[in-house]
Homo-oligomer: A and B are copies of this chain.
Amino acid sequence: MTLTNRQNEIIEAALKLMAEGGIRELTIKNLAGKLKITEPAIYRHFRNKSEIVRTMIRKFDDGVDVSKETCKGFDGIAAFIRSRIRQVSATPSLARVMFAEELFLDDPECSELLLALMHRHKETLETFFLEAQNSGEIRKDIPLRQLFRLVFGPVRLLVKQWGMSNQKFDLSAESEEMLSALRKILK
């Protein structure tokens, strides 16, 4: 995904707007206002609003790179989670929208994209879970799809709490604590 400078600026502004006042604040007018250009100018860089949102989603999905080669088992899972946490820490506005799939329910193209991304992640992660079960890092009496929920449910909630509390607590400390708790209880 190669974006022009302007495109990156627009994505950045869009994210800020969403974080500040919810998805309703993300309008072409506000976007233009924030970038100090006029509304039609936006359309030089994106075909329409949906494309902006979709590009935003894709861009932040690119940020999570956990190649299945470098890590294995629970380490792979931890790497994935840490990658997400690092991303959210770097761009706190993300915390408010990253796991809010409902926000995009009314745009079919966005919904579809999100579903596809989620599916891809799930596949990657289930490989890790299997490895972890086989190596004895994780007990074997819990179905894979429950494992997925037991691990990523808490992560999502943590990020959401951090976003809704306006970053009042130390996200990375709290996430490390959570990871070690997960390691403990799943053994």
Query: Which one of A2-10, A70-78, A81-89, A147-155 is at the interface?
Result: A147-155
Residues of A within 8 A of B (CB): 21-25, 96-97, 100-106, 115, 139, 141-143, 146, 149-150, 152-158, 160-161, 164, 174, 177-178, 181-182, 184-186
Each complex incorporates copies of this chain amounting to: 4
Give the nearest-CB partner of A147 in chain B: B181
Q: How far is the CA of A26 from the CA of B96 in the complex (A)?
A: 21
Q: List 5 A-B contacts (CB under 8 A).
A: A22-B102, A100-B102, A146-B174, A152-B153, A153-B158
Tell me which residues across on chain B come within 8 A of A153, comparing CB atoms: 152-158
Q: Which one of B21, B141, B146 contacts A105 once the chains associate, using CB atoms below 8 Å?
A: B21
A42 to chain B, nearest CB (A): 16
Q: How far is the CA of A96 from the CA of B161 in the complex (A)?
A: 19
Give the nearest-CB partner of A19 in chain B: B105
Q: How far is the CA of A27 from the CA of B22 in the complex (A)?
A: 17
Interchain CB contact under 8 A, A102 and B97: yes
